[in-house]
Amino acid sequence: MMKKIIAILGLLFCDVAYAQHVPPHADESKISQTISQGAIVGGTIDPATTVEGKQIRDLQFLGFQTVYSQTINVCPSGCTYNKVSDGWGRALSAAHRLFGHGVVILQIADGTYTETNQIYTTDPTGASINVIGDTADNSKVVIKFTNIKGNNSGGFVADNGGIIGLIDGVTLNGVGAQSAHSVASTSWYPQSYGAGIIAQHNAVIALGSHVTVNSFYYSVVADDGGMINARGGGVTGSDAGDVNFMARGNGTIVCTPCTANRAVDMTSPSTAILGGGFDAERGGSLYIDYSTCTNSNVACVTALSNGKAWAHNMTISSPLRSQETSGFLAAENGIIEAQDSTISGMNIAVLAQNGGTAECDRCKITGSYSDGVIADGGLVLGTATQSQGSQTGYGYRALHQGIMHLYGVVSLTSGNKLGKFAVETAGSANSATYNASSISAN
In tens, the pLDDT along 284-312 reads 999 999 999 999 999 999 999 999 999 99
| CA distance linking residue 41 with residue 38, whole number of Å | 6
pLDDT in tens, 326-355: 999 999 999 999 999 999 999 999 999 999
Of 397, 365, 400, 392, nearest in space to 380 by CA: 397
Note the pTM of the prediction, 2 decimals. Answer: 0.86
Task: Identify the H or E element spanning 103.
Answer: strand 103-108
Report the alpha-carbon distance of residue 241 to residue 179 in Å, rounded.
11
Q: Is the pLDDT of residue 58 over 80?
A: no
3-state secondary structure of 280: strand
Share of the chain above pLDDT 90, in %: 81
Res 171: pLDDT: 98
Q: Can you give the residue ranges of every domain in the chain?
A: 2-61, 69-321
**Percentage helix, strand, coil for the chain under 3-state DSSP, each rounded to 5:** 10, 45, 45
Q: In Å, what is the CA distance from 208 to each residue of 136, 255, 340, 378? A: 12, 10, 26, 37
For 17-31, the pLDDT digits (tens) are: 333 333 333 343 333
Q: Kindly give the residue spans of alpha helices, DSSP state H, lying in 170-218.
A: none
Q: Are strands 299-304 and 265-268 parallel, antiparallel or unpaired?
A: unpaired
Q: What is the pLDDT of residue 59?
A: 36
> Nearest CA to 119 among 164, 151, 149?
164
Q: How do 342-344 and 326-331 pair as beta strands? A: unpaired
Burial of 277 (0-12, 13-18, 19+ CB in 10 A): buried
Does residue 116 carry a pLDDT above 70? yes
User: pLDDT, tens digit, for every residue of 170-209?
Assistant: 999 999 999 999 999 999 999 999 999 999 999 999 999 9
Can the peptide bond before residue 269 be classed as cis, meaning omega within 30 degrees of 0? Answer: no
Residues 247-262 have pLDDT tens digits of: 999 999 999 999 999 9
Distance, C-alpha 50 to centroid of its chain: 52
**What stretches of 354-440 adopt beta strand conformation (E)?**
357-359, 364-366, 373-376, 379-383, 386-388, 394-399, 403-407, 413-414, 419-423, 427-429, 432-434, 438-440
Q: Given this model, what pLDDT does residue 68 score?
A: 66
Cβ atoms 347, 327 nearer than 8 A: no
Instruction: From 244, 189, 238, select the one nearest 218 (Cα to Cα).
Output: 244
